[in-house]
Structure 1
Amino acid sequence: MTPKIARYLAAQAPATPCLVVDVDRIEERYQELRAALPLARIYYAVKANPAPPVLQRLAALGSSFDAASWEEIDLSLQAGAPASRISFGNTIKKGSAIARAHAAGVSMFAFDCDEELDKLARHAPGSRVYCRILVENAGAEWPLSRKFGTTVAHARALMLRAQDLGLDPFGLSFHVGSQQTTTDAYEAAIGKVAMLFTDLAQAGLDIRMVNLGGGFPTRYRDDVPEIDQFTSAIARALTAAFGNALPELVVEPGRFLVGDAGVVSSEVVLVSRRGDSTAANGGKRWVYLDIGRFGGLAETEGESIRYQFRTPHDGGSTGPVAIAGPTCDGADILYERSDYRLPLDLACGERVELLSTGAYVSTYCSTRFNGFAPLAEHYI
């Protein structure tokens, strides 16, 4: 939690549940990444948090944008980003969305299969295209390897076909998974992509770009490597693979830029003992909040992303808890197996904060599941 957010919560006490985001902190993270990886162009992954204040600040800083839909492209344009700084990075796109993006001036598109390549040739003729390679996501707390990417052999054939279709086979991309906690993943992926890059260049393609994707982590409950550890590993791998003839480099951070800039403030709805309160352990203690998986905390599915909590009783005696949301749905459980311990004095009606919730929380919240209003957002 930044001092700016702490002051805002203390002075305003906004109604819960709400998300408070310090936009200055996003700028700090952007500058930190730019300094750590100066040769790469930063394409902010809009899906992480598409709020206009976030996009406007990043556009003013000169950031480019990785969009997953026409709607995200439109938001980026409205925020002041020129179409030349927008990539349509989703490999699954409607033909109408491709055509609309192309008409707006977007000229960079991702793909990973023949069918998507055909759509690009039809709806965005002459565009720069890049093929997403399937790489290992080991070490990622939110893997992305099942739905996206193709094999090296297929990517080679696709890139050669892209040229035959009148497209510009611009580059290759990969993604090591969101909230990646190991630097090894980037080194292995770069080595894999570099071999194909060289092979395609020797086959006569004017291939010029490698997109390193996102994956840089935010600290939640557990420590993660610092950004310079990732960028040092990336630099070593790029030098080993390409020597001094580096291609154009692109990175697509989302969580890293906005994650620790946000805090969710929530009210404790109920603290109860489940089971026999006369048993030796007094029954299992459950803490129910006014935000849950349907209110924006979808990344707690499988207890993958483990947020850190702050309470009014920190420093006092704690005990094990299960933590759940307020809805009348049995799936609305945040943590049951991850050994969360909260203060024994925590009571109904008190406020708690979930730290580093600036990424994905606002966009994952449902419209009105069980009638609960969408998460309120405050950008300061």
Structure 2
Amino acid sequence: MRAYLDERAPATPCLVLDLATVRANYHRLRAALPEAGVLYAVKANPAPEVVAALAAEGSGFDVASTGEVDLCLAQGADPADLSYGNPIKKAVDVAYAHARGVRRFTTDSDGDLEAIAEHAPGARVAVRFLVDAPASGTPFGAKFGCSPATAARLLRRAAELGLRVDGLCFHVGSQHTDPAAWVAGVEQAAAITRAAGVPAPALNLGGGFPTGYRTPAPPLDEHAAAIRAAVAEHFPTPPRLWVEPGRAVVATAGVLRSEVVLVSRKSDGDERRWVYLDVGRYSGLAETENEYIAYRLRTPHDGGPDGPVTIAGPTCDGDDVIYQRTPYRLPLALRAGDHVDILDAGAYTASYSSVSFNGFPPLPVHVVG
């Protein structure tokens, strides 16, 4: 990726993805948890080349819209390997996905379940419950999932409607560094399954597997060991496991190259400089909201004298400030026109890039490997 950036010198900002790293990360996850089927969360990075590479490796896909259904099928994915994991969808979208061959859906409400029964008759369905687990790096809040009692009722209702009950699913939140979060989810899933009283052969553990940014993350093996032990403890008959990784597959496969637009101080005696980049919250760095994700940065002047900085994007929006509480120090030699590389930026950057806010175009993506 560095060689591509240095030799090709593409216009900034841009994201460079290495497919060899994507493949390696996929197989590393499979090796850590071989008993689980993989459904890559397309929203993490929907580059067609990434989807095609993972389809060739045998991955399934977690899709959240008809657009993602079409993308995966266009890149060679089998519709049988797609799971429509978004529990918030229009009835017409259920019908469209079913017509294209999708047979696996996730739900968390009566209305959505009824739509699946009507427009995707006989489909497999999983009920998503709201897991009571420690907070993640980027928590979901209460938008997705239902209470355990409602989940048990929906499982029974799905069977009554003639749907194939897959079982339960949960998501501990994105960038989760505590393996105990999955333990809590597995324990709750077992209790819900017992309360439902209907066969539930599968358990979808969701995503959330972390990447080390500025702070190292526990290795995948630790998360896998915790999951394996929890399943053995709480399920007399182990369910078929599924995972929906996104960040763990693509984050380390990306470098986002930006350029310094301006370096300034708010007062003559201010030690802290403001460093404005040509990429910001609306063109790829949405995960810096609340400074949840603290990326590693690289500049041409690393190793020289440095000082504290606030880092901001280029738009005329007061919220387009990337880091002002997280302590960053950048070289004093940094000037307008210098490159700043944002490392491990393969996940949730280009896919979050807005459409020409303030006239700035979406983040271009270059693929190597």
Bin of the TM-score, shorter chain as denominator length: over 0.9
CA distance in 1, matches of 2:210, 2:5: 26
Residue aligning to 2:330: 342
Query: Number of residue pairs matched?
Result: 368
8 Å contact kept, 2:255–2:345? yes
Q: CA deviation at 1:137?
A: 4.8
Matches within 5 A, 1:1-380: 5-200=1-196, 203=197, 205-243=198-236, 245-275=237-267, 277=268, 279=269, 282-380=270-368
Mapped to 2, the partners of 1:191 and 1:137 lie a distance apart of 11
Aligned residue for 2:105, secondary structure, equals strand
* Distance in 2 of aligned mates of 1:366 and 1:189: 33
Q: What's the offset of the Cα at 1:283? A: 4.9
Do the aligned residues in 2 keep the contact of 1:49 with 1:358 (CA within 8 Å)? yes
Structure 1, 160-169 or 355-364: larger mean CA deviation:
160-169
**Tell me, what secondary structure is at the counterpart of 1:105?**
coil
Q: Structure 2, unaligned stretches of length 5 or more?
A: none
Deviation at 1:136, TM superposition (A): 3.0
SS at match of 1:287: strand
- Rounded to whole Å, the distance in 2 between the matches of 1:223 and 1:118 is 44
User: Does structure 2 retain, via aligned residues, the 8 Å contact 1:175–1:214?
Assistant: yes
Aligned residue for 2:238, secondary structure, equals: coil
Q: Quick one: distance in 2 between partners of 1:95 and 1:188?
A: 32
SS of the residue aligned with 2:276? Answer: strand
- The one-letter amino acid of 1:189's match is G
2:251/2:346 contact within 8 Å kept:
yes
Distance (whole Å) between structure 1 residues aligned to residue 279 and residue 199 of structure 2: 50
1:211 shift after superposition: 0.1
Letter in 2 for 1:329: D
SS in 1 for 2:190: helix
Q: Post-superposition shift, 1:14?
A: 1.1
**Match for 2:320: what amino acid?**
D
Tell me the CA shift for residue 79 of structure 1: 0.9
Q: Is the 8 A contact 2:272 2:307 kept in 1?
A: no
Shift of 1:62: 0.5
Residues 270-289 of structure 1 deviation map (CA, whole Å, 9 limit, x = unaligned): 000012x0x3xx35310000
Give the Å deviation of 1:373.
1.9
CA distance in 2, matches of 1:316, 1:241: 54
How far has the Cα of 1:139 moved from its partner? 3.8
Which stretches in structure 1 are left out of the alignment for 5+ residues? none
> Could you list the per-position Cα deviations for residues 56-107 of structure 1 after superposition, in whole angstroms to 9, with x for gaps in the alignment?
0000000000000011011111111111000000000011110001111111
CA distance in 1, matches of 2:128, 2:362: 34
1 CA distance for matches of 2:338 and 2:310?
17
Deviations 1:186-221 (A, max 9, x none): 111111111222333xx2x23110000000011111
Deviation at 1:170, TM superposition (A): 1.4
The range that moved more, 16-25 or 233-242, is 233-242
The question of whether the paired residues in 2 share the 8 Å contact of 1:137 and 1:145 is answered with no
Partner SS state of residue 326, structure 2: coil
| Residue pair 2:15, 2:363 contacting (<8 A) in 1 also | yes
AA of the residue aligned to 1:358:
G
Deviations 1:28-80 (A, max 9, x none): 00000101101100000000011110000000000000000011011111111
Contact 1:137 1:177 in 2 (8 A): no
